[in-house]
Structure 1
Amino acid sequence: MLRWHLESKKLQLRYTWKISRNSSDEKTNLFIRVADRRFVGIGEAAPNIRYGETAEALTHQYELLVENGLELIRSLEDLQVLLSLYPPANSLRFAIESAYIHYYCQKKSISVVEFLGVNLPASVATAFTLPIMNPELVANFIRDNNLNRFANLKVKVNQEDGLNLVKQVASVNNRPLIVDANEAWTDPDKLLIFLEQLKPYQIAFIEQPMPATEIEAYKYLRQQTPYDIFADESVTDHADFEALQQQFHGVNMKLMKAGGYLNGLQILEQTRQHGLKTMVGCMVETSLGIWSAMQLCQGVYQADLDGFLILKDEPFGIVEERNGELFIS
């Protein structure tokens, strides 16, 4: 019989992580371990309050799965049936599925990419994200952290300071910027005014500027925008890709939203099939979660896998960043 175990870790951040809807100085992530007497697999869950996820709620969901036979599963198919009968939050589903796949691959002496039928890139160039902060602090923050080593910087913005934040980043960085509003705007015309104000600066694309519910507003925006618009919160573990084509130019797939390797692969494939650009992103995660995301990065348009770089004490050390490139240690 397989032995399952859940552990929570409180992760202190190097600085306050502020986006348009909330801020935090620490994160509590969950780690699922499955083992027999010889082999072991571990998966990570990074709860996201945007989707109503908390460490406490996920712990209760895990306990429900244990009560209903988690330790009796004998295959990935068994696991998928159990997860469909007692569906957990997407991040917990990913932790459980990935832990089992990591265990299975170790037992069979195969790599995760071999199991998934994909190729592992030699390295992954990642963007680095600046949280919302006092615009006067931006230039020193970039210099002090040597952030110009990254090919792209992502700027978190809100309506109040968005333009000034972009301006300050652009003053000390000459590469195209990703602007991420985390659903901060509700009026597409006001958003378009903001986008017009960005024209003096190099902008790569805009990420999820309005709430996911604003479908008609996104259709209107897509016809008017001077920049590509990428979906983040609009795509979780499922999506209507026919509708997404009318709203966005690209999709940010995160395994913590997709709920598993297998569904993450499917979302990336559907994104490509519908002529949209692919992006692989992350939450605030350890290198375990980032390592997992790297398995799916071959051929993606943009990777944004810096979540482990803002941790004070990263516990696993299985991914290394050098000059803006990620390497598996």
Structure 2
Amino acid sequence: MQISITPFTVHKRVALTISRGTAAESTNLWVRVQAEGIEGWGEATAFSLGTYQQTTEQLTAELTAIAAEVTDFHPLERQRLEPLLAKLSSAARAAIDMALHDWVGQYAQLPLWQLWGLDRGAIGPTAVTVGINTPEKAVHRLQLWQTQIPDLRSVKIKLGSPDGMQADQAMMTALLADIPAGTKVSIDANGGWDLETAIVMADWLAERGITYLEQPLPVTLDGQLAELSERSPLPIFVDESCFNAQDVARLAGQVHGINIKLMKAGGLSEALRMIHTARACGLEVMFGCYSDSAIANTALAHLAPLADHLDLDSHLNLTDDPFQGATMQAGCLLPNDSPGLGLTRHELPDR
């Protein structure tokens, strides 16, 4: 098989601010696996979490090196490929794993959700994200989402403002006044609080009908998750604290749920392992994304019938995503009936 790597840069319609900073664009990698006249597609998106750093240049070098090693392999030889893929950083591994799944789906002439025997009708609404901002600008961002997606059913709000808890509460108060009744609302603090702040905010948010609280504490305070979960009236989910199935087992009994992202996990194969491990441990499952295009979000949409909560909106905030796949219908991101991931690519005019 042959592997090719093509960089592409995408720009956000609205820059996203979280507790760790602001992002307005990203350069991702389009990865293609070719064999027997079939081409499977994947995506690598660089991300950084504390001391864990991945860059586009690093991912390109890794993928270029692995491409030279696998020319004598076939996409169906996954067991032989695994030791090679295991040496890659998670986002590089995710790209090849996605492309291999796409290839197999096309080889079988079935969409992945059907190949896995899943019920597409079980997919719940995907959340759109409102980043940290002034109350007025946060409301304006929400209104832009409501214009873009009239049947919006779920909203995720970023808190953990560097300006403190009062700034978080002021932004939340303004947003809740503008969110229609019956809309699912969740919070992601991206590790922006300490334990006492998280407890106060959990109580305050629970009184306002919030569904769950994601990554309230930084990874360095993982040892306090059990106490927070015991004292919080809201379910506690972790994101930055959970990369793979081993982390799921470690966190069992300390939190209520985990956030799976393909770039952290290393692809759909590990995402499936994480789901099964989480269920065995009595944990709920949510799916999230980084600055991913429609490639990665479509890939996770195929697994979405197995998730309790979905946050696959990054591609919806792009002005120039060259890829198309899963589509928004009644507030849900649904994969199509085409074989594999069901992706297409279109040329964009020069910026």
TM over 0.5: yes
- C-alpha separation between the residues in 1 aligned to 2:117 and 2:259? 19
Q: Does 1:61 align with 2:62?
A: yes
**Pairing 1:171–2:177 present:** yes
Q: Letter of the aligned partner of 1:76 in structure 2?
A: R
Q: Does structure 2 retain, via aligned residues, the 8 Å contact 1:13–1:311? A: yes
Instruction: Tell me, yes or no, if the aligned pair for 1:120 and 1:297 is still in contact at 8 Å.
Output: no
Distance 2:109 2:136 in 1: 52
Among 221, 228, 238, the residue aligned to 1:231: 238
Helix, strand or coil at the partner of 2:177: helix
User: Hey, what's the Cα distance between the residues in 2 that align with 1:237 and 1:299?
Assistant: 17
Matched residue SS, 2:327: strand
Query: What does 1:1-329 correspond to in 2, within 5 Å?
Result: 2-36=1-35, 38-50=37-49, 51-67=52-68, 69-74=69-74, 75-84=77-86, 87-113=87-113, 115=115, 117-122=116-121, 124-146=124-146, 149-159=151-161, 160=164, 161-173=167-179, 174=181, 175-185=183-193, 187-329=194-336
Q: For residue 55 of structure 1, report the CA deviation from its aligned partner.
A: 0.6
SS in 2 for 1:239: helix
Distance 1:243 1:95 in 2: 26
CA contact (8 A) 1:120 1:295 kept: no
SS at match of 2:132: coil
What is the distance in 1 between the residues matched to 2:278 and 2:232? 20
Asked if structure 2 preserves the Cα contact closer than 8 Å seen for 1:42 and 1:99, the reply is yes
CA contact (8 A) 2:206 2:234 kept: no
Q: CA RMSD in A?
A: 1.9
CA separation in 2, counterparts of 1:57 and 1:106? 30
TM, length-normalised to structure 2: 0.86
Shift of 1:242: 4.5
Label 1:219 to 1:27 Cα distance change in 2 as closer, same or farther (>3 A): same
Q: Which amino acid aligns with 1:152?
A: S
Of 195-204 and 248-257, the range deviating more from structure 2: 195-204
Residue identity matched to 2:54? E
**2:344 equivalent in structure 1:** none
Distance 2:143 2:289 in 1: 24
Shift of 1:205: 0.4
Long gaps (5+) in structure 2: 337-351
Match of 1:63, SS?
A: helix
How much does 1:30 deviate?
0.8
Q: Distance in 1 between matches of 2:128 and 2:39?
A: 32
TM-score w.r.t. length of structure 1:
0.92
- Structure 1, residues 239-274: CA drift from partner, whole Å, max 9, x if none? 344541232111111122111211110100111111
Of 291-300 and 8-17, deviating more is 291-300
For residues 81 and 197 of structure 1, the distance between their equivalents in structure 2, rounded to whole angstroms, comes to 48
User: Which stretch of structure 1 is more off in the superposition, 146-155 or 161-170?
Assistant: 146-155
Report the 3-state secondary structure (helix = DSSP H, G, I; strand = E; otherwise coil) of the residue aligned with 2:7: strand
- Quote how far apart the aligned CAs of 1:37 are: 5.2
Q: What is the number of residues matched between the two proteins? A: 323
* Greater displacement, 189-198 / 247-256: 189-198
Residues 222 and 246 of structure 1 are in contact (CA less than 8 Å); yes or no, is this contact kept in structure 2? no
